[in-house]
């Protein structure tokens, strides 16, 4: 049974930091496409940081230089370090894995491109 379990969300003030973690199980982690998406009320779910087959990490322009995705194959964990948080970063953050559609290099995938999803963890940034 595939499971993706996020943790690390919370409330911080603008300029603060949070680290999200996603523990994966039930599928071959190494070499899978993994990523973080987010969705705020009234908006579409969007990709934040995605690695294609454990390769290049692509970031949304809005988070470049502030967010860092990392992978730990020994622990089957994908993390998102978020620094210099802004109120517009407030959203539910989701971990996703296992590509079912191809996407181009340096392109952020549509959410439908990944099969497995976690339940999400809330990030709230106050000004």
The pLDDT score that the predictor gives to residue 11 is 98
**Mean pLDDT on 58-78:** 96
Least confident of 42-46, 53-57, 106-110, 119-123: 53-57
For residues 14 and 100, which has the higher predicted lDDT (pLDDT)? 14
pLDDT tens digits, 101-125? 888 878 899 999 999 999 999 999 9
Q: Which residues contact 56 (CB under 8 A, 6 or more apart)?
A: 105, 106
The pLDDT score that the predictor gives to residue 91 is 98
- Is residue 67 within 8 A of residue 51, CB to CB? The reply is no
């Amino acid at each position: 049974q595939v499971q993706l379990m996020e943790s690390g969300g919370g409330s911080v003030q603008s300029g603060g930091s949070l680290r999200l973690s996603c523990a994966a199980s039930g599928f071959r982690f190494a070499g899978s496409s993994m990523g973080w998406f987010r969705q705020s009320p009234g908006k579409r779910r969007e990709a934040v940081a995605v690695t294609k087959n454990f390769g290049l990490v692509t970031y949304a322009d809005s988070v470049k230089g502030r967010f860092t995705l990392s992978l730990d194959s020994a622990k089957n964990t994908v993390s998102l370090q978020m620094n210099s948080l802004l109120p517009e970063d407030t959203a539910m953050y989701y971990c996703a894995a296992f590509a079912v559609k191809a996407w181009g290099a340096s392109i952020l995938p549509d959410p439908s491109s990944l099969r497995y999803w976690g339940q999400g963890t809330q990030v709230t940034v106050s000004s």
